[in-house]
Amino acid sequence: LTHPLTPAMKLHAIALLFAQVLLFVSSAPFDETSTTVLTSEGTTSEVATNTFTTDESSTGTTPEPTTSESTTGTTSESTTGTTSESTTGTTSESTSASTDTPYQSTSGTTSDSSSGTTSGPTTDTSTNSPTYSSTSTPYVTSEPTTVSTNPPSISRYCACDLDEYGMAKDWAEQLWVDMVIILDTSAAMGSDGVTESTSIIESFIARMNLDNFSTPKYSRIALITASTWPKIHYYFNMSSTSDLSNIKSEKTLEFNFVEAFKAAVYLFNFWSPKELHREQVPRVIYLITNTRPPTKIAAADQFKQDGGTIIVADFVQEGAITQPLLRDLASPGFFFTDLTQDYTKNLVVFCQINCFCPSSLKSSKPSHGCFQPMASPASFDGAVRTCAETQMDLATIHSQFDEDYLIRVKGLPHWFGLRNNEATGFSWVDKEQHNYSNWAKQEPELENNQNCAYALKGTSKKIEWFTGNCHLPFYFTCSSAPCSAERYCSEEQLFGFKKMISQI
């Protein structure tokens, strides 16, 4: 340069340099190898059937997660999968009469906050009832600060929709879950609160199939009430016409969370004959309370780690506010403040829990489908054949969510189930009509036998669709519909399917 730079020219040069840096950062390449952690979909786990863990620092081992997206905002599906081998049934011949069995305290055992373990329940000869003890002190209601959570969204699959009158459609009679209801009957709930809660329970069980065992689509429900000590009223033998009018509020303010959850887990682990083993059925503990819980409940934590779902209905009375620790006790996405106001909302929540993927498959939202990324690239036809061998389809893309998820669980370029036929045009392998598309500019290009669609990063640095030669070896993912109220998954189907996946 022959002339010195003026201050204005210097500022202009600095601005240009800064703009170039921003452009370089914004166009940084997509990291195709990075993956995020997804909670496992219904991972099975063995549950000990001879002890209850009371060491809060060792409440079991969390099942190993699979790779996928952890930021989808909806996590309810992560806990609604297949159940542990200890989750088994009771006989269909059992009557619906209330048994009102109290738990009896024994001495010489450790509390839930200790580092030891409490022996499993034994039988009190005077009442023929299971017994165990705890020295923990339950918490009573205090000031909370949180808000209600709406149910997770459902789309494509698992249509838990309502009719024009706001009533659940036929799927309500097709639900297949095993559930223990824990109802707080302490003085904190009050007489009206207990009566309102039992009325809601009677209303939703009237719509569920609890009596017809000729179809696999039936549910089993047990009922525990608790104040200072839990009392079992039904051992998975509630019927659609069970009368709960005899359940009343008690005088004490205490609600023993620890023993109530131990009793619920006991029912799942022990009160279940092997001939009615239902390992693939979702397990649910449904808690109705307005009392502040302890910060840690070992039995509840272990239940969630073993694949069970905890629903918490915070019974917020007029002038009160919600309990923040109850949200932490619930499985993610299953904390509510309005379930005791509308029984239909309860059925919708149960329907969402009944929507899950087999543990061998991946999905952050089962309502969008269940996915199995395959390790080796293949041609388009090879991908279709491989998926068919596992009774699945080559994954299709119905939304931006589907596209983002598929790309993150597997690398690029990536086949998906869209192919051009010279006679009929483009069609999806799942035979469905799709409104979503994401073609790159000047695509689809159909020259030179480029008839199969794949996803790749385009010139805009975003994922876009292209057509390519169907013989090219690209990554691919297989998909299937989730288990749901409409689609029953037998134990043989789920575990036979898992075996097929392992052989590919």
Collapsing DSSP to helix, strand or coil, 467 comes out as: strand
379 touches 470 (CB < 8 A) = yes
Are the C-beta atoms of residues 276 and 291 closer than 8 Å to each other?
no
Higher-confidence residue of 295 and 86: namely 295
Q: What's the structural domain count of the chain?
A: 2
Verify that 222 and 309 share a domain, yes or no: yes
369 near 363, Cβ under 8 Å?
A: yes
Mean pLDDT of the 78-85 span? 38
Contacts of 198 (CB under 8 A, 6+ apart): 183, 244, 245, 247
State pLDDT tens for residues 394-433.
Answer: 999 988 888 888 777 667 899 999 999 988 899 999 888 7
Do 135 and 283 sit in the same domain of this protein? yes
Are 342 and 411 part of one and the same domain?
A: no
DSSP letters, 242-310, are ---TT----S-----HHHHHHHHHHHHHHS--GGGB-TTSPEEEEEEE-SPPPS--HHHHHHHHTT-EE
Q: How confident is the model at residue 492 (pLDDT cuts 50, 70, 90)?
A: low
404 falls within a domain = yes
Q: Which residues of 232-269 are buried (b: 16+ CB within 10 A; e: fewer)?
A: bbbbbbbbbebebeebebbebbbbbbbbbbbbbbbbbb
Phi and psi at 414, nearest 5°, equal -140, 120
Model confidence at 129: pLDDT above 70: no
Output the pLDDT for position 270: 84
pLDDT score at 110? 36
480 has pLDDT over 80: yes
Residues 144 and 283 in one domain: yes
> In this structure, is residue 11 part of a structural domain?
no
Q: What is the pLDDT of residues 182-216, one digit of tens each?
A: 999 999 999 999 999 999 999 999 999 999 989 99
- Strands 178-184 and 220-226, how do they pair? parallel
444 & 336 share domain: no
- Mean pLDDT over 81-86 rounds to 38
45 vs 387, which has greater pLDDT? 387
- 93 and 213 both lie in a single domain: yes
Residue 198 pLDDT: 97
Residues 276 and 317 in one domain: yes
SS (H, E, C) 413-427: CEEEEEEEECCCEEE
Strand 220-226: give its sheet, edge to edge: 101-102, 230-234, 220-226, 178-184, 283-289, 309-314, 335-336
| Rounded Cα–Cα distance for residues 415 and 382 (Å) | 11
Residue 502 domain-assigned (yes or no)? no
> Which two tokens mark 200?
């809601």
CATH value at residue 170: 3.40.50.410
Residue 162 phi/psi, 5-degree rounding, is -115, 160
Structure confidence at residue 124 (pLDDT): 37
Go through 90-124 and write b for each residue having 16 or more CB atoms within 10 A of its CB, e for each that does not.
Answer: beeebeeebeebebbeeeebbebbeeebbebbeeb
Q: Residue 321: how many CB atoms within 10 A of its CB?
A: 14
Rg (CA), the chain: 27
Residues 338 and 385 reside in one and the same domain: no
**CA 185-186-188 angle, 5° bins:** 120
Mean pLDDT (whole number) for 28-57: 35
158 within some domain? yes
Average pLDDT of 45-50?
A: 35
- Mean pLDDT score, 243-265: 96
Q: 176-200 b/e with 16+ CB inside 10 Å = b? A: bbbbbbbbbbbbbbeeebbbbbbeb
Last residue of a domain, one of 324, 353, 382: 353
For residue 64, being part of any structural domain is answered with yes
Residues 334 and 382 in one domain: no
**pLDDT exceeds 50 at position 238:** yes
Mean pLDDT of 439-450: 89
* Claim to verify: residue 242 and residue 378 sit in the same structural domain: no
Assign residue 420 the CATH number of its domain: 3.10.100.10
What's the chain's average pLDDT?
74
Is residue 154 scored above 50 in pLDDT? no
Per-residue pLDDT, 393: 93
For residues 114 and 210, state if they share a domain: yes
Q: Are 173 and 349 in contact (CB under 8 A)?
A: no
Q: Is residue 140 part of a domain?
A: yes
Alpha-carbon span 216 to 491, nearest angstrom: 11
Q: Assign 4 a pLDDT band (cuts: 50, 70, 90).
A: low
Residue with tokens 């309370």: 289
User: CB-based burial of residue 408 (10 Å sphere; 0-12 exposed, 13-18 middle, 19+ buried)?
Assistant: buried
250-254, long-range: CB within 8 Å, 24+ apart, which pairs? Answer: 250/185, 250/186, 250/187, 251/187, 252/186, 252/187, 252/227, 252/228, 253/140, 253/141, 253/186, 253/187, 253/188, 254/137, 254/138, 254/140, 254/186, 254/227, 254/228
Residue 359, in any domain of the structure: no
**pLDDT over 50 at 88, yes or no:** no
Helical (H) or strand (E) element with 464: strand 463-468
Task: Clarify whether residues 143 and 207 are in a common domain.
Answer: yes
Domain that residue 214 falls in: 51-353
CA 247, distance to chain mean position in Å, is 31
In a domain, 59, yes or no: yes
Task: List pLDDT tens digits, range 340-358.
Answer: 889 999 999 999 999 998 8
Give yes or no for a contact between 80 and 155, defined as CB atoms under 8 angstroms apart: no
Task: Check pLDDT > 50 for residue 55.
Answer: no
